Structure 1
Amino acid sequence: MSHRQILEALSGLLLALFVAMSSATIVSTALPTIIGSLNGTQNQYTWVVTATLLTSTATTPIWGKLSDLYSKKLLVQLSIIIYVAGSIVAGFSQTAGELIAARAFQGIGLGGVQALVQVAIAAMIAPRERGRYNGYLGGVLALATVGGPLLGGVIVDSPLGWRWCFFAGAPVAVLALIVLQRTLHLPVFKRDNVKIDYVGASLIALGVSVILIWISFVDSSFAWISWQTFAMVIPGILILVAAVWVESRVAEPVVPLPIVKQRNTALAIVASLAVGMAMFGGSVFLGQYFQIGRGYSPTEAGLLTIPLMGGLLVSSTVSGRMITKTGKIKPYILAGTAILVAGFAMLAFMDHETPLWFLWTGMLLVGIGVGMSMQNLVLAVQNSVSLKDIGAASSTIAFFRSLGGTIGVSVLGAVLAHRVTDSITSQLAASGAPAGSGGGSISALNLSSLPDSLQHIVRAAYGDATGHIFMISAFIAVIGVVASLFFKNITLRTSLDMTKAASETRSAEDEATIPAEAVTR
């Protein structure tokens, strides 16, 4: 494909990715208002995010495997339709429980969009050149992440109301479907007697779900050492062990163990887990910090996160072009994970009175780190597999990154909820007021309905507790640095498939030996 043809095909793919990512980021800024108006709790706040991440994580390997068997174009379009349908249902939600269920359905489509866009790009562009186009991908991600919170804030503050945060993406999604229909043309390689490992996928989803549910409620609804803990953790671990056993024996596993066992793939998985846990788990609470902890409006909260997205945009674009120029990828992944740790370490010192310049510096470093590492981890794995396994390999990395994000949001959300509750209770006791005074049945996130005296206590509690979860994020991100250190030094290949690259290498070697043979003769 020519550069122009690639850009035309990319336009639809990137538009689809923009729809999915911007819809998710719109919600991040609007969530405090949404949960407050639905009178939800901090646990429900967390599960609005976790539900989407959980279902997208569980379905990502299935989407990837299907893309190795059927039309990638059709699957991308189907995933967009599912995502938009979930968004519309979420917009009509009347309770926090209904919203969580709609977001879980929405995540099925999100998992498809995230995995299949990467798969389609890998089917068009050689790994060496892919770094250049990853800059466009990073730019769209940054635009969606910057524009989403801003748009969400504007919608929430406008007469439209928060429900339009879910409805607004539908027209853009329709446009993405039309563009994809006209521009994306990929060959379909049909294979006979192929079976999708639905059993393995179901076991993975069930095992992860059980563990995450336990994480969300432990230490708040029941103790760490309790019958509820044993009733969830032991079955969850056994189910995941069974999933690995099934994946090692089926002909077409959704998570191919031979690919996972490769050194760079295994290290990329570890790093993706760490980056996903740190990035998703930390950044999802920034909007809540600025609104609940600092008293800014949704629009202002969106504007205040621009340094995070600006760093992501610049670093993904620059690193992508440098990787294409040099063919080297390890230095950028290593530098990115290290900068990510530094950014989270700065944010670990934040409280409800931290100067904004300090917060912006930390967010800028986090954005730079994510831009240099997240997409390049996928690229490193794609370089190590043949074209026929691109779907499974790409979705495997996306799966573990989403899994890390899901675990991160659940764990950090549970930590935040616990610390906020303890802080509010202790401050009420110190002021001489009973623990339940002033709030009644009103959610702590619905600040406008709380007495002035209680509003100050809630703001301080959220502002001070957020720094603690970023400290945890920093420790988690260190794992990504360690994994990156052990990466093999590789040079990205310039062909789409490994077999073609090997044949080209042999041909070059043969040509190089001709003069020597002629001299011998």
Structure 2
Amino acid sequence: MTAEATEADTREQMGHRQVLESLSGLLLALFVAMISSTVVSTALPLIIGSLNGTQTQYTWVVTATLLTATATTPIWGKLADLFNKKTLVQVAIVIFVAGSMISGFSQDTGQLIAARAFQGIGIGGLQALVQVVIAAIIPPRERGRYNGYLGAVMAVATVGGPLLGGLIVDVSWLGWRWCFFVGVPIAALAFVVLQRTLKLETVRRENVQVDYLGAGLIAAGVSILLIWVSFVGNAFDWLSWQTGAMAGAGVVLLALAVLVETRVREPVVPIKIVVQRTPALAIIASLAVGMAMFGGAVFLGQYFQVGRGYSPTEAGLLTIPMMAGVLVSSTISGRMISRSGAVKPYIVAGAIILVAGFLGLGTVDHDSSLWIVGIAMAVVGIGVGMTMQNLVLAVQNSVPLRDLGAASASVTFFRSLGGTIGVSVLGAVLANRVTADLATALHVPEGQASTGGVSALNLKALPPEIQTVVHTVYGDATAHIFLISAAVAVIGVIAALLLKPITLRSTIDLEKKDDDTVVSDSVVG
């Protein structure tokens, strides 16, 4: 019996009630993976401040998780073709729980960064495997009826996470460590529910190869370059042997990764797909959107708390306009695209709106009207909602059925990679700007401990007069990274404009007639 037939039997044996029971465990796992990042976003300024960390370390607490989650996601997907999917989900949950516990007990920022990197492995597994298991238990024709549950979970995690994180750190008897502990009981419940309800046979596909070398080279190359970006201009000069060693090593590793990807049978990044016009442009746009969105959004919570002096709970509430913009625009644009079949106009419009939103945020300072900040955030959210998933849709519409998974995964991979790069680069820019501006404002030589050896993020430990200086410096400096985000988002606009006009096909697959034309193969219904 083939693997496909075995999975089909599994689907047929599971009724609607069983599917819902199994789905409940999967949704819990997906929820805890998503909220692990959003719950920390508003609490991070206080966390790093209490650990007396630096702005660079603030950035790497986020970057480390994104990097390991991005690098391991395709590996988890390949492992799902080799081993029992249920077991793999539970292994990912265990890794996530262990990473969460270690993060919660961290005594300094170095330990926290390492723990978050380990936690990212589990997050990458949960994000990849939940989708794989859902595909294994729900037939494609019925999958649409369950998409509402996925959307609801994502909405609650996206909007509720920052609020929950703010409440946790504002409640004195909890403290910031519970931002990491809060996901543990939810993850444990997901483990138990999956153990009791999910029934999947081990379906091992023949001749499946896991591209560990390619994934490792990509992760190593990107990591070295991000570490270089974090320290260049501060710990060492742009023209120095450290720059040559780190930048050179990163470029060599990525070149080797490209070489490997062109030779292995099942690459993490399929070169033959990503060099085609539509996938290539969609990937460039996704990189730009990911860099701008993740990079900009990560520092909004810091802007409201450190730059404006609001509490974590208030900061969570103040970020709602951007989340609302994402949810509303993605829903409305999705329905309009389904009616018209045209994708490109919405991608182009979304990319332009994204640039406009970041230009708006680029005008803010430490005493800007909250109405102006809120409107700019909502505009950014609308732009993200109109571009992010529609770029994946454009790629899915342009490749044959046999390449659908690889093409979709590549866009998602590069979007996450763009987010990782964006957080690291923008964090490095912000750190250097804040260091220089604090030194100027406090009349001390740049590079000296301008806040008396206490982290500038640890506001409660600073004298009132220095707190005022820190508020002003952070509030004003953050605008610069939003302007950089706008410049990066312009690349997304250019890539979107260069896309061919795209009309959603009503066929399952497509057949190539020549290099530039595709025609329908089979018509649904």
* TM-score (norm: length of structure 2): 0.87
1:305 aligns with 2:319: yes
What is the CA–CA distance in structure 2 between the aligned matches of 1:478 and 1:4, rounded to whole Å?
Answer: 46
What is the CA–CA distance in structure 2 between the aligned matches of 1:337 and 1:117, rounded to whole Å?
Answer: 29
Distance 1:385 1:400, change over 3 A: same
Distance 1:418 1:507, change over 3 A: closer
1:46 aligns with 2:96: no
Please give the secondary structure, in 1, of the residue aligned with 2:452. coil
Aligned to 2:3: none
Aligned to 2:260: 246
State the 1:348 CA deviation.
0.5
What is the CA–CA distance in structure 2 between the aligned matches of 1:142 and 1:371, rounded to whole Å?
Answer: 12
Pairing partner for 2:71 from 44, 58, 65: 58
Q: Aligned Cα RMSD in Å? A: 3.1
The farther-off stretch of 377-386 and 244-253 is 377-386
1:145 aligns with 2:166: no
1:480 aligns with 2:497: no
Aligned to 2:6: none
State the 1:179 CA deviation.
4.8
Amino acid at match of 2:210: I
Aligned to 1:451: 463
- Superposed, which structure 2 residues align to 1:131-210 within 5 Å? 137-158=150-171, 159-180=173-194, 190-210=204-224
Aligned to 1:359: 373
What is the CA–CA distance in structure 2 between the aligned matches of 1:34 and 1:441, rounded to whole Å?
Answer: 17
What is the CA–CA distance in structure 1 between the aligned matches of 2:230 and 2:146, rounded to whole Å?
Answer: 38
Give the percent of matched residue pairs that are identical in Structure 1 and Structure 2: 67
Pairing partner for 2:39 from 5, 18, 26: 26
* Greater relative contact order structure (CA < 8 Å, 6+ sep): 1
Please give the secondary structure, in 2, of the residue aligned with 1:106. helix
Aligned to 2:474: 462
Distance 1:436 1:220, change over 3 A: closer
The farther-off stretch of 106-115 and 146-155 is 106-115
1:83 aligns with 2:57: no
Distance 1:491 1:75, change over 3 A: farther
Distance 1:305 1:143, change over 3 A: same
Pairing partner for 1:116 from 106, 110, 129: 129
State the 1:316 CA deviation.
2.0
Q: Deviations over 1:2-44 (max 9, x none)?
A: 9967777655444322211111111111111111111111111
Please give the secondary structure, in 1, of the residue aligned with 2:442. helix
The farther-off stretch of 369-378 and 475-484 is 369-378
- Superposed, which structure 2 residues align to 1:376-415 within 5 Å? 376-385=390-399, 389-415=403-429
What is the CA–CA distance in structure 2 between the aligned matches of 1:507 and 1:196, rounded to whole Å?
Answer: 32
The farther-off stretch of 376-385 and 130-139 is 130-139
CA contact (8 A) 1:122 1:382 kept: no
What is the CA–CA distance in structure 1 between the aligned matches of 2:449 and 2:291, rounded to whole Å?
Answer: 36
The farther-off stretch of 4-13 and 318-327 is 4-13
The farther-off stretch of 308-317 and 154-163 is 308-317
What is the CA–CA distance in structure 1 between the aligned matches of 2:198 and 2:520, rounded to whole Å?
Answer: 30
Pairing partner for 2:251 from 237, 246, 265: 237
State the 1:258 CA deviation.
1.8
State the 1:314 CA deviation.
1.4
Pairing partner for 1:278 from 264, 272, 292: 292
Please give the secondary structure, in 2, of the residue aligned with 1:442. coil
Distance 1:189 1:283, change over 3 A: same
What is the CA–CA distance in structure 1 between the aligned matches of 2:430 and 2:503, rounded to whole Å?
Answer: 42
1:95 aligns with 2:102: no
State the 1:434 CA deviation.
10
What is the CA–CA distance in structure 2 between the aligned matches of 1:14 and 1:271, rounded to whole Å?
Answer: 29
CA contact (8 A) 1:36 1:443 kept: yes
State the 1:461 CA deviation.
0.5
Aligned to 1:216: 230
State the 1:70 CA deviation.
4.4
What is the CA–CA distance in structure 2 between the aligned matches of 1:262 and 1:182, rounded to whole Å?
Answer: 45
What is the CA–CA distance in structure 2 between the aligned matches of 1:96 and 1:394, rounded to whole Å?
Answer: 35
What is the CA–CA distance in structure 2 between the aligned matches of 1:120 and 1:491, rounded to whole Å?
Answer: 30
What is the CA–CA distance in structure 1 between the aligned matches of 2:222 and 2:297, rounded to whole Å?
Answer: 22
1:338 aligns with 2:367: no
Distance 1:448 1:436, change over 3 A: farther
Distance 1:477 1:189, change over 3 A: farther
Q: Deviations over 1:422-473 (max 9, x none)?
A: 11111112xx899868732211111111111111111101000001100000
Please give the secondary structure, in 1, of the residue aligned with 2:57. helix
What is the CA–CA distance in structure 1 between the aligned matches of 2:357 and 2:283, rounded to whole Å?
Answer: 22
* TM-score (norm: length of structure 1): 0.88
What is the CA–CA distance in structure 2 between the aligned matches of 1:320 and 1:11, rounded to whole Å?
Answer: 25
What is the CA–CA distance in structure 2 between the aligned matches of 1:32 and 1:84, rounded to whole Å?
Answer: 23
1:255 aligns with 2:264: no
The farther-off stretch of 147-156 and 490-499 is 490-499
Please give the secondary structure, in 2, of the residue aligned with 1:443. coil
